[in-house]
Amino acid sequence: MPRKKASLLLAVETSCDETSAAVLQEGKILSNVILSQDEIHSPYGGVVPELASRQHIKAIDFVVSESLEKSGAKLQELDLFAVTQGPGLIGSLLVGLTFTKGLAYYYQKPLIGVDHLQAHIEAAFVENPDVKYPVLALLVSGGHTSLYFLEAPLSYKLLGKTRDDAAGEGLDKVAKFLGLGYPGGPVIEKNAEGGDPQRFKFSLPRMKTSGYDFSFSGLKTAALKIIRENNLDARHPELRHFLASFEETVVRALLENVKKALMEFRPNSLVLCGGVARNKRLRSHFAELAAENKLPAFIPSPRLCTDNAGMVGALAWKKYQLQGQAVLDLELDAYPR
C-alpha cells in the first residue's frame, strides 16, 4: 500500500504577546486560534516580556487543544509540526518552540522552523496563492518595519528596515503618552475617526543616506512635542485631528519608500502585511498606490495581519512543498533577532 502523503500540519506561534495554534491540511487553514494578551499588558502601555512568557506557558496547551478540536484533527493524525523560531521575545519564543518540539519528538514527526517576518509576508498569499512574482512587500508590525523584494517564492531580499523605532512601536508609544491604552494602533485609529489629517503639520522623516531604510523616532519625538505644546490629552477636542494627522504622516513615510523601490525593482505585485496593515488609512493609501501603478495589491484580511499561527503553518507548508523534505531537528533553536 502506498504511504499516505503528509498533509496535516500543526503550527504554533508565540513570538510576542499572542498565543496561537493552527491546523492546516494541504496548506489550507482549517483552524487558527489566537489568544491575545492585550488585557495583561494594557496597564503597562507595552508588552512586558516576563508576563508574556508566563502567559504563553499557561495558555499553550489550551490553545493547541482548541485548534485541534476546531479542525476536527487528532494529535496522532498530524504529519508535520511547525513553529516560529524568531525574531521575537526570547522567553516567549522558547515556550512555543519547546512545546512543539516535545510534540514532534513524542510522535516522531518532522518539525519545521519558521521565521516570523517571512510568515507575515506569507499571510498575504494565503488568500491569494496565484500571486505574480517578483513581489515587493512592505511589512509593518509592532517590532519591525521592513521592505522586502521576492524574486520568487521563498527568496527574500531585505531592501531596508527601520533604523530606530518600528512604525507600530511609534503608534504604541504615542498612545501610551496620551493615556489611550494598548495596543496603540487600533486605539489611535478609532480616536482619529473623522479627524482632519492635514490639521497638524509634521515633516516627513528624511534618511541621510540613499537606500530603503525607515526611521520613526524623529516623528515620535515631533508628535510628543505637539502633544505637550497643545496640552493634548484623551479628552481634548483637537485630539482626533492630531491623531489623524499623525496617522497620515506615518502612512506617507511608509509609502515614500515603497514608491522609490517600485521605480528600481519593477515588481509584478505589491504586498502589505504585519499588524499595522490592519489600519484602514494605510490599507486604502497602499491600494491607491498600487492602482496608480497598475499593480495588484495583496493585503491579508485583518485577522491574518496580526500575529497568528495560520501564517506560520502556511509558510511551513510552502517550505515543505518546495524544499522536498522535512526532518525532526531537535537542535532547532529560537533566535530573538
10 Å CB burial of residue 195 (0-12, 13-18, 19+) is buried
Q: Cβ closer to ligand KG4: 24 or 276? A: 276
Report if residue 143 touches ligand KG4, rule: CB under 6 A.
yes
Applying CB under 6 A, what is the total number of residues that bind ligand KG4?
19
Rule CB under 6 A: choose which of 276, 290, 315, 316 binds ligand KG4.
276
Task: Please say whether the dihedral angle defined by the alpha carbons of residues 288, 148, 174 and 215, taken in this order, is positive or negative.
Answer: negative
Rule CB under 6 A: choose which of 13, 115, 122, 189 binds ligand KG4.
189
Rule CB under 5 A: choose which of 17, 247, 248, 307 binds Zn ion.
307
Angle (nearest 5°) at CA 164 between 160 and 169:
105
The amino acid at 4: K
Q: In the range 204-233, which residues lie near ligand KG4 by CB under 6 A?
A: none
Q: Is the peptide bond before 296 cis (omega within 30 degrees of 0)?
A: no
Choose the contact partner of 13 out of ligand KG4, Zn ion, none; CB within 5 to 8 A by kind: none
Q: Cβ closer to Zn ion: 169 or 307? A: 307
Region of 22-30, 71-79, 259-267, 271-279 interacting with ligand KG4 (CB under 6 A): 271-279
Q: Cβ closer to Zn ion: 100 or 141? A: 141
Report if residue 45 touches ligand KG4, rule: CB under 6 A.
no
Q: Is the peptide bond before 205 cis (omega within 30 degrees of 0)?
A: no
Report if residue 141 touches Zn ion, rule: CB under 5 A.
yes
Report if residue 165 touches ligand KG4, rule: CB under 6 A.
no
Shortest Å, Cβ 12 to ligand KG4: 15
Q: Measure CA 177 to chain center.
A: 23
Choose the contact partner of 279 out of ligand KG4, Zn ion, none; CB within 5 to 8 A by kind: ligand KG4
Q: Cβ closer to Zn ion: 86 or 205? A: 86
Quick one: cell of 279? 489600519
Angle (nearest 5°) at CA 38 between 123 and 202:
75
Report if residue 172 touches ligand KG4, rule: CB under 6 A.
yes
Report if residue 185 touches ligand KG4, rule: CB under 6 A.
yes
Question: Helix 167-177 to helix 184-191 angle, to the nearest 10 degrees?
Answer: 70
Q: Decide: 305 and 277 in contact? Cβ < 8 Å.
A: yes
Shortest Å, Cβ 330 to Zn ion: 26
Can you spell out the DSSP letters for 208-273?
SSSSS-B--HHHHHHHHHHHHHTT--TT-TTHHHHHHHHHHHHHHHHHHHHHHHHHHH--SEEEEE
Can you tell me which residue has the cell 518539525?
111
Choose the contact partner of 172 out of Zn ion, ligand KG4, none; CB within 5 to 8 A by kind: ligand KG4
Q: Cβ closer to ligand KG4: 174 or 295? A: 174
DSSP state letter for 87: S
Residues that bind Zn ion (CB under 5 A): 141, 307
Residues that bind ligand KG4 (CB under 6 A): 16, 141-143, 168, 171-172, 183-186, 189, 274-276, 278-279, 306-307
